[in-house]
Structure 1
Amino acid sequence: MTNIIDDLKWRGAVNQETDEEGLYKLIDEKSIGLYAGIDPTGDSMHVGHLIPFMILKRFQLAGHKPVIIIGGATGSIGDPSGKKSERTLQSMDQIKKNEKALTKQMEDLFGKDGSFEIVNNRDWLSKISLLDFLRDYGKSFNVNTMLNKEIVSSRLEAGISYTEFTYQILQSMDFLHLYKNNQVQLQIGGADQWGNITSGIELIRKSEGYEAKAYGLTIPLMLKSDGTKFGKTAGGAVWLDPEKTTPYEFYQFWMNQDDRDVIKYLKYFTFLGHDEIEELEEKTKENPKAREAQRRLAENVTEFVHGKDAVVEAENITKALFSGEVAQLTTDEIEQGFKNMPSVEINNEKRNIIEFLVDDTSIEDSRRRAREDVANGAIRINGEKVIDVETLIDPNNSFDGKFVIVRKGKKKYFLCRVK
């Protein structure tokens, strides 16, 4: 069997390793425990958060045991990573609500079969007194060394509180706890976590002896080909929570990736094999307009996060919007597919098509123009062309009486929500 490190390198998923040879040999010899963490600063992950957890998932599929820390303790004080100012502290009630939501998302991604474990660092960090913290852990950390860590040094000019300064000690304590209690020997993190990871390994060696086998692996910063940060759109972050980013929007995010990026993302965010990805790479070069690589990317990541039914829904919506045959969509699919399209509220009374287009929805700015567009076949209601100016529109006849879909011309859609 191929060593998973070889696969990760082929996928471009390895930035730094603390002991490349030692880790490679350890993984060849046995199944290991490894971990990554996330602080409950929000009630959902976004696609950027997926990056380290995709690595954990690959280890899980290769027979290793991932441990995920939901940072109830560290999340209550704030991680200085990647920010120019102090994080606003949240209430404990909000943190606990976020913990619950993130735990659910992790269970959706990793399953509930016992092949992985979720822990909360509040369970052990909250039991340590200030004096014990200073005596048993603070003595192991040199301030000069801590100041030189990039995660801290990048904040010194703007200023950093003692609270956030101690974050790397707490993260190191997490690694030590999991090493001693959960058989974890490897920590996974983003490139900006290198300093925290190496601090944790040093703490383990000081506590358990310098022969202790503990390792760190970081992942490259994910950038798009234009140099901008991966995972952002004009509308903001792309969330895993379907209430924040619908599965259709999620699917479209991956479908819209640049040809220059799609193979990189196929390697990173899917579990497709080397041969299939290389074949898709050739097809992209030969016929980029077909966008087959983007479609496979969208299918795979959407299925991983939202399930097979969500892929079917997203593909149904995509096909219906392209063809104009929206009558085949379900009410839920309409809600997803038309979420960001122009919308207006209407009542549920029957109305003449001209009055409907002008008075009720303002889709047309005059009765004369409305009559012309109807007569010329430029107006479709729920996918059906309307050419008779005497047609009555009954909002109760479609999509459970909740919506009327108007299409003007070839591409202009309007969502009419029934009050």
Structure 2
Amino acid sequence: MSNQALKTQSNDPSFKDLLDELKWRGLVALSTDEAALRTALNETKITYYIGFDPTAPSLHLGNLVQLLIMRRLQLAGHKPLALIGGSTGLVGDPRPTAERTLNTKETVVEWVEKLGKQASRFLSFEGENPARLVNNLDWTAPLSAIDFLRDIGKYFRVGTMLSKDAVSARLNSEHGISYTEFSYQILQGYDYLELYRRYGCTLQMGGSDQWGNLTSGTDLIRKVEGKSVHILATPLITNSDGQKFGKSEGNAVWLDAEFTSPYAFYQFWLNVDDADVIDRLKVFTFLTRAEIEDLAKQTAEAPHLRAAQKRLALEVTTLVHSAQSAQAAIDASAALFGQGDLAALDADTLASALGELPKTTASVGTPITQLLIETGLVDSISAGRRAIKEGGVYLNNEKIIDEAAVLTDLLHSKFAVLRRGKKTLAGVFSA
């Protein structure tokens, strides 16, 4: 997000209390002393941080929750530190099931740079409270193992470490837990201590599944510096059926267009259930309470119009990619279903859109009935001929009237859009 785009965002003026707004948006699961945190957020200007480990070449929807809460606090005048875990990314925090695969140092360095650029798009590095990117490798790399054990390790009690949910779950599993992952909470606690010392950081935020690691930092600062600092944990975002949000058949929704195209990203938000869409608007957009309540009313009165989903998809795609990408996704959606000009779509947008559909490869001259079978739109030649005869088959939005018709028209010399009826689509790529 450009700094100019960031300037168009603002917190909801109907809230006089920042913590109350975060609660209304469903962004507070747990925190340290709420009264003290409320005072810090509303009556002072604090420095705060969230950490992102480079365990993949892109951030995802779970990270987006954290990036947007960082932005909300920055808009309120607080100063953000975006920590990219160059050292913790080499170790890996405990997963609920098996040991995390360790990546090479070269890979982690590459991913640190990529994630830093991604995170930077959601924060402003100008003004009175500019953001800062930090890398925990800067303070862990010079530290010897002996110094780490003597100076930091002495403050951690094994019994307390064993009681953390992420650790105890693994201890009771068939996989157990390595010392590598077991030590992660010490490293995260040390991060908070260093950020407190270097930048006066007094608030750490993260997902509620990280609560054990978050508290390791407050405990360490209290023991070493004799000071109390804050943590705030956001809830894990789930669908109304309890399924973890953003996961589809094990595939994350990425913020990098290389891994999740803007079209696929837009469609993901457009397909959010009615039961979840208002909660998503609260978490993932900067729309005001009044605007969201109006969309909730529209959803209740005319759910078939999907006004809330359309606004959600527009807002989040614009935030993560750009207004141009969001409009291209809207245009592609309309064109695919016969409500726009397919030929006006650029090749990349069309390729992304077709990549989400059933598809086949074919050469010019391939019978349309064969393409219908190969893409699964019909299950036999006779069914394909019948569909054409009934007027329900379209190639690039042109109705096919000849049962013996063949593929002749390729968009950008590469693609064709096959449609049966109003809503069933498939893609054809040139062989």
Aligned residue in 2 for 1:302: 317
The residue correspondences of 1:339-418 to structure 2 (distance < 5 A) are: 339-347=355-363, 349=364, 351=365, 355=367, 357-358=369-370, 373-388=387-402, 393-395=407-409, 398-418=410-430
Work out which of the residue numbers 195, 204, 207 in structure 2 matches 1:187: 204
Aligned residue in 2 for 1:338: 354
Mapped partners of 1:214, 1:279: distance in 2: 38
2:337 is paired with a residue whose SS is helix
Cα 1:235–1:245 shift into 2, 3 Å: farther
The residue correspondences of 1:269-280 to structure 2 (distance < 5 A) are: 269-280=284-295
Cα 1:286–1:409 shift into 2, 3 Å: closer
Aligned residue in 2 for 1:31: 45
Mapped partners of 1:95, 1:75: distance in 2: 7
| Aligned-residue RMSD, C-alpha | 2.4
Aligned residue in 2 for 1:175: 192
Aligned residue in 1 for 2:178: 161
Which deviates further from its counterpart, 284-293 or 409-418? 409-418
Cα 1:272–1:370 shift into 2, 3 Å: closer
Mapped partners of 1:244, 1:323: distance in 2: 27
Aligned residue in 2 for 1:207: 224
Work out whether 1:63 is the aligned partner of 2:77: yes
Task: For 1:196, give the aligned amino acid.
Answer: N
Cα 1:29–1:356 shift into 2, 3 Å: closer
Mapped partners of 2:210, 2:404: distance in 1: 67
Aligned residue in 2 for 1:92: 105
Work out which of the residue numbers 302, 307, 314 in structure 2 matches 1:292: 307
* TM-superposition CA deviations, 1:338-391 (whole Å, max 9, x none): 1122222233x5x3x7x4544898568877766655454333221112325686
Is the 1:356–1:393 contact (alpha carbons within 8 Å) kept by the matching residues of 2?
yes
Task: For 1:321, give the aligned amino acid.
Answer: L
TM-score (norm 2): 0.88
Aligned residue in 2 for 1:329: 345
Cα 1:318–1:356 shift into 2, 3 Å: closer
Is the 2:368–2:405 contact (alpha carbons within 8 Å) kept by the matching residues of 1?
no
* TM-superposition CA deviations, 1:111-143 (whole Å, max 9, x none): 554721111111111111011111111111111
Which deviates further from its counterpart, 226-235 or 3-12? 226-235
Cα 1:151–1:392 shift into 2, 3 Å: closer
Task: For 1:407, give the aligned amino acid.
Answer: R
Gaps of 5+ in 2: 1-12
Aligned residue in 2 for 1:261: 276
1:160 is paired with a residue whose SS is coil
Shift, 1:79, TM fit:
0.2
Mapped partners of 1:247, 1:359: distance in 2: 27
Which deviates further from its counterpart, 234-243 or 41-50? 234-243
Mapped partners of 1:358, 1:225: distance in 2: 41
1:49 is paired with a residue whose SS is helix
Shift, 1:8, TM fit:
0.4
Aligned residue in 2 for 1:317: 332
Aligned residue in 1 for 2:267: 252
Shift, 1:21, TM fit:
1.4
Is the 2:264–2:356 contact (alpha carbons within 8 Å) kept by the matching residues of 1?
no
Shift, 1:259, TM fit:
1.5
Cα 1:385–1:35 shift into 2, 3 Å: same
Aligned residue in 1 for 2:114: 101
Is the 2:67–2:119 contact (alpha carbons within 8 Å) kept by the matching residues of 1?
no
2:206 is paired with a residue whose SS is strand
Aligned residue in 2 for 1:130: 145
Shift, 1:91, TM fit:
1.0
Task: For 1:191, give the aligned amino acid.
Answer: S
Work out which of the residue numbers 27, 31, 34 in structure 2 matches 1:13: 27
Task: For 2:429, give the aligned amino acid.
Answer: R
1:399 is paired with a residue whose SS is coil
Mapped partners of 1:368, 1:151: distance in 2: 57
Work out whether 1:139 is the aligned partner of 2:171: no
Gaps of 5+ in 1: none
Is the 1:405–1:414 contact (alpha carbons within 8 Å) kept by the matching residues of 2?
yes
Mapped partners of 1:408, 1:85: distance in 2: 45
Task: For 2:55, give the aligned amino acid.
Answer: T
Is the 1:327–1:383 contact (alpha carbons within 8 Å) kept by the matching residues of 2?
no
2:170 is paired with a residue whose SS is coil
Cα 1:5–1:379 shift into 2, 3 Å: same
Which deviates further from its counterpart, 328-337 or 360-369? 360-369
Shift, 1:414, TM fit:
3.0
Cα 1:359–1:316 shift into 2, 3 Å: closer
Cα 1:258–1:360 shift into 2, 3 Å: closer
* TM-superposition CA deviations, 1:157-180 (whole Å, max 9, x none): 132211111111110110011111
Mapped partners of 1:359, 1:336: distance in 2: 20
Cα 1:235–1:388 shift into 2, 3 Å: farther
TM-score (norm 1): 0.90
2:121 is paired with a residue whose SS is helix
Mapped partners of 1:238, 1:62: distance in 2: 29
* Count, aligned residues: 410
